Amino acid sequence: MSQQYVVINGNYVPVQDAKIHINDLSIQRGYGIFDYFRTKDGQPVFLEDHLDRFYQSASVMNLPVTQSREALKQLITGLIEKNNLPHSGIRITLTGGYSDNGYNLSSPNLLITQSAYNFSTEAFEKGISLVTYDHQRQLPQVKTIDYLQSIYLQPFINEHAADDVLYHDRGELRECPRSNFFIVTRDREIITPAEKILKGITRKKILGLEGLGAKEGNISLDDLRDIREAFIASTTKVVLPVLKIDGKAVGDGKPGEITRDIYERLIGLRGGVE
């Protein structure tokens, strides 16, 4: 493979030299935000949505972005050209920066990394299993780098033969650590939790699908007892059917027709499978 690059604060740096000083508040205090989007045939997918959210996350967390939106786009375009990875995931991270006292915010470090990603349709047919867990994420509306609880829970997930965890806040369903959660009711209503979650870009696209009627609402753990379908939505996975929750089959335990329809429409929005 040819030399790969990342961006650190506006400079293209060979990936093996991509280091930051340990004074950075991401390392010292877990402080930072990011966003992540895909590229298909060298073109970013839903870039404007992701940049909107990136600047919004930075603003809420009091992190100034010195690069203008245009400058950021040019850095991304340059990185795509340099790395020559047509199908990829690109992550833009903004850290708390080099603090003078290990606590106060400083000038953030901006990191842009790219990795090859080949989308597979097999994952859809296989579906996933979830295990529920009582946890409310802190600052849920912001795409922070905080994944402490979910990585900590990996052994718990494995013990329950699940693929991921589904958080609920004392019975009110929220989200998975890296995706939004949807149900399809017996009455064919498509509902995703409204509050105290990260509002994903794929979630937004689903809520906007014409004629589908997907909506935000409250879902409790009890509501899961009798549903037709369930699925997760994320930039990485697009849509994956949830076939089991806490060991119990969802619907008939196979990918549902409404989930499949949404998946195919989203793939269409993205310009097909890469």
Residue numbers at the binding site for its own copies (CB under 8 A): 6, 8, 18-32, 61-62, 91, 93, 95-96, 102-105, 111, 113, 115, 135, 138-139, 144-149, 151-152, 154-155
Strands 190-193 and 164-169: unpaired
Q: Which is nearer to its own copies, 121 or 154 (CB)?
A: 154
Nearer to its own copies, 88 or 259 (CB): 88
Q: 185 to each of 50, 90, 179, 197, how far by Cα in Å?
A: 30, 35, 20, 21
Find the shortest distance in angstroms from Cβ 20 to its own copies: 6
Q: Which is nearer to its own copies, 40 or 135 (CB)?
A: 135
Complex with its own copies: residue 145 or 266, whichever CB lies closer: 145
- Nearest approach in angstroms of CB 91 to its own copies is 8
Q: How far is the CB of 149 from its own copies (least distance, A)?
A: 5
Residue whose C-alpha is closest to residue 260's, from 124, 62, 119, 78: 124
DSSP 79-131: HHHHHT-SSEEEEEEEE--B-SSSSS--SPPEEEEEEE----SHHHHH-EEEE
* Closest distance of CB 101 from its own copies, Å: 9
User: Nearest approach, Cβ of 76 to its own copies (angstroms)?
Assistant: 17
When the beta carbons of 8 and 47 are compared against its own copies, the nearer one is: 8
CA distance 158 to 146: 21
As a residue count, the chain comes to: 274
CA 191 to chain centre: 19
